[in-house]
Structure 1
């Protein structure tokens, strides 16, 4: 069992709320990345998702898009992020969220090889369909890096077990149709949808997209193992409100 799967399953079995904050790597400058990771770790993050800036972020809402543009203006690249991560030591597993194009440009084998020299334990590639997993999955087979699947609200019910079976680390359940962002309204059938995914999954299911309050966290904990929070964290960090980030996470993971 890979490290990320083992760590998060242990939290799930202990009935702890799994909380994965998302940040855009380099949005405040790469020199701030180590401090941001430390802040999130000390606040109680279960793992930390690092977004890679990309010029065509089809799944990102306005807040994360803006953060990505700031990072690109700072000349942040996937290569520079990985070089920075090689210098950072953290007890909290890191998860890279990137579109396929930056990895392809980097070189798939080189990308996986370089990640092995960091504390990255998972990869999310939102525009890589399950049918094309063979482009990446074989390269990860003998590594300690999990390929994390996404399941959308529109995913046919009979397809969900297949996606769950192929995934590692955790299952990313997209809680809305569309892009990321705060202030989203959730469908009435969402809780049933999440509960079904968790029922057929032997790995923790985390709800993401639009999660921005303690009330959201409490709601989703009734049907799955935890949450991923992006836009709210990214917005607070962009405003320099690190104390509010810490408070939000601490309150969300407290029983």
Structure 2
């Protein structure tokens, strides 16, 4: 089954609630522990997993995820190690890898996409790849059955939203705020409008991320029309603060899953 089809099925099989997509920093705190954390996500009710690759200059990431990536790099984590994490988790839920363009270019676009397919990945998010420069990677992903997932923001102009939505694969990653990743006490005043604008310009699901740190915020996103919610810094922080990271994140993921199901 192709990556786009697996992703579509994951959203469809959420049974009327928003699909839950926790973010996992590959290699944090160690490669082995990141596999355990990812398995805890699955056990806690994740429908998909966003798998981050540590990078020295993560321009879209706030301090919590940046620190996790720095620790993973210091421990020796590599792109190949993150592919190993994907190999374990990919057979269980769709894994969408998130990484920066330099890591793909260093490996070569065809080689990277081929490696992602071999590792069992379903999709790819490249936050620093502009629409105008995405053609070669989109072509390679389409040929290999990988969903190249675009991002849109509250500031994305209407005409650009239309072009992004038409080329979206898997889902549209809708950023709730202008800024970096990180927990917020409340969602922005414009998040519902941002979701509505994204949904008006695409036929694939729309998932909201950046700033969702509590189950009630995930429910707010779902009630505003989000087909999926992405939870990152809250889970990375839970893993960093716990003696048993896997147990800690399983509890957090389960709380989000339960809140979405109840709503």
Place the TM-score, normalised by the shorter chain, in its bin.
over 0.9
1:237 is matched with which residue? 239
Q: Which runs of 5+ in 2 are unaligned?
A: 243-247
For 1:116 and 1:243, the matched residues in 2 are separated by 27
**Structure 1 residues 229 and 87 mapped into 2: Cα distance closer, same or farther (>3 Å)?**
closer
Number of equivalenced pairs: 254
TM-score by length of 1: 0.93
CA shift at 1:77, angstroms?
1.1
Match of 1:226 among 228, 241, 251: 228
1:110 is matched with which residue? 111
For 1:11 and 1:49, the matched residues in 2 are separated by 18
Alignment of 1:147-166 (within 5 A): 147-166=148-167
User: Are residues 1:249 and 2:256 paired?
Assistant: yes
1:124 is matched with which residue? 125
Q: Which runs of 5+ in 1 are unaligned?
A: none
CA shift at 1:63, angstroms?
0.3
Q: For the Cα contact (< 8 Å) 1:4–1:146, is it kept in 2? A: no
Cα-Cα RMSD: 1.8
Alignment of 1:34-53 (within 5 A): 34-53=35-54
What do residues 57-109 of structure 1 show as CA deviations (whole Å, max 9, x unaligned)? 11100000000011001111112222453455532011100000111112221
For 2:140 and 2:175, the matched residues in 1 are separated by 26
Q: Which shifted more, 62-71 or 245-254?
A: 245-254
What do residues 115-160 of structure 1 show as CA deviations (whole Å, max 9, x unaligned)? 1112210000000000001131111122221000000111002221
- When you count helix as a share of all residues, which structure comes out higher? 2
- SS of residue in 2 equivalent to 1:142: helix
